[in-house]
Amino acid sequence: MHTKTLKELAQGLRAREFSSRELVRHFLDRIARYNPALNAFITVTEEAALQAAAAADAKLAKGESEPLTGVPLAHKDIFCTLGIRTSCGSKMLDNFIAPYDATVVEKCKRAGMPLLGKLNMDEFAMGSSNETSFYGPVRNPWDLACVPGGSSGGSAAAVAAGLTPAATGTDTGGSIRQPAALCGITGLKPTYGRVSRWGMVAFASSLDQGGPMARSAEDCALLLQVMAGFDEKDSTSVDAPVPDYAAALDQDLAGLRIGLPKEFFADLDAAMAQALEAAIAEYRRLGVEFVEVSLPNIQLSVPAYYVIAPCECSSNLARYDGVRYGYRCQNPKDLNDLYLRTRAEGFGAEVKRRILIGTYALSAGYYDAYYLKAQKIRALIALDFKRAFETVDVLLGPTTPTPAFRLGEKLGDPIAMYLSDIFTIAVNLAGLPAMSVPAGFIDGKPVGMQLIGNYFDEARLLNLAHRYQQVTDWHKRFPEGFA
């Protein structure tokens, strides 16, 4: 059953080919069997999942079900879940039991989707390899010696290995798309404000966005339908109609114009370029027209991001002080010692690095020189995208510069790690939607193609990805040993 799509699972449940309880039991058994090697799950909610499955079966029997009722999923451990540990991959929140559900979690519950558990991630979503987690690194099911990407690496690895049919992720600078590419699955980062951030623990508030991760574009469309929508509890949520994403999947592509940003292809690895050329050829056969475009300020996206994101992280993580909730150091001498030792012991090295960078950039005398200048560059990058979309409908390029790299390979070089997101970061700075689609293999490891759309144009991206997946089978491949 783990090889079926969300649509196939939903159809099977409605046809009574299997029950939700049988389906959940199947995935729980796979988690027990394979998770020790992958380390994709932090928490497995077996009892609650089986109870939710029984409730879903009762709804299905009465004919009162939603489209995905009875189909299980797992959440990245950055979404608050009532009565269940929400750790953000950090020692700081190892003992935190959320007192409420995030809006995304609540929506999935209302849709009748049993929760299999909470997925491993880079600490507070800060990382590109899922090696900064307090609970240890996640491993890539295509090569256990390699990283799955980050920060949503647990989500990507669990979907790729068939431990869950779908998962939620969050994307601050590529953290849905990059691990999706490295694990050979499909991941969509929606327009900023399309999916509620309420109950999603904040890293960088102007950049963070939740989204779906699954094997195919069709699966992502079905899950996004559940996740998307206005939320009055989230001040960044946009009150805009949510289209029927599945209804647009099969639209004809003839006459569509796709832009190829020349900056994305200038120094691209030859094997990666070859994979993208093959994808472009498939799209040409589907009637798509390609145009070269330019994003002249795109090379400034990484330095701008690594000023803005740490500044926002410095502000958001100030709440973790050992007083209100979370980790508290033992036997503090006084209040100052409580603050200092709690934060020193509770945060990992990468989180500390970003807090220090952000605090420095926001300090008196440096705000204008760093943070304000980075925000001006951000506006220029958004303007580049706006101009590109005046002539094309969608942009296409690589998701990552290389396939998955080996565990530990970049841990000692933060700059090399940051450059793993060189093709994804600009999208977050502009607030645009984008997705990664499996587009081939290099040396036995999957690589992804990135599609970038205009604001609230997720339906077009899903349509493009779905039509491509109808004529290719990269997204159907299963890593050896997990099939």
Strands 394-398 and 166-171: unpaired
Note if 76 is an active site residue: yes
Distance CA 347, CA 369 (A): 28
Q: How far apart are CA 279 and CA 449, in angstroms?
A: 8
Length of the chain: 483
Q: Catalytic residue, from 65, 128, 129, 151: name it.
A: 151
Tell me the three state secondary structure of residue 122.
coil
CA distance 42 to 72: 17
Which single residue is written with the structure tokens 């991630």? 121
241: number of Cβ within 10 Å: 7
Beta bridge partners of 228: 195
- The b-or-e profile of 44-77 (16+ CB within 10 A means b, else e) is bbeebbbebbebbbeebeeeebbebbbbbbbbbb
Strand, coil or helix: what is 6? helix
Task: Indicate the SS3 state at residue 394.
Answer: strand
Query: Residues of 329-353 as b/e, b for ≥16 C-beta within 10 angstroms?
Result: beeeeeeeebbbbbbeebbbebbee
Cα–Cα distance between 153 and 89 in angstroms, integer? 11
CA 20-116-55 angle, to 5 degrees, is 40
Per-residue burial over 141-152, b if 16 or more Cβ lie within 10 Å, else e, is bbbeebbbbbbb
Active-site residue among 90, 175, 237, 420? Answer: 175
Q: What residue type is 110 in one-letter code?
A: R
What Å distances lie between residue 301 and 295, 305, 309, 420, CA to CA? 11, 6, 11, 13
- Residue 149 φ/ψ, nearest 5 degrees: 90, 170
Give the Cα separation of 422 and 116 in Å (integer). 33
DSSP 304-361: HHHHHHHHHHHHHGGG-SSSSSS---SS-SSHHHHHHHHHHHHS-HHHHHHHHHHHHH
At position 179, the amino acid (one-letter code) is: P
Which residues are known to be catalytic?
76, 151, 175
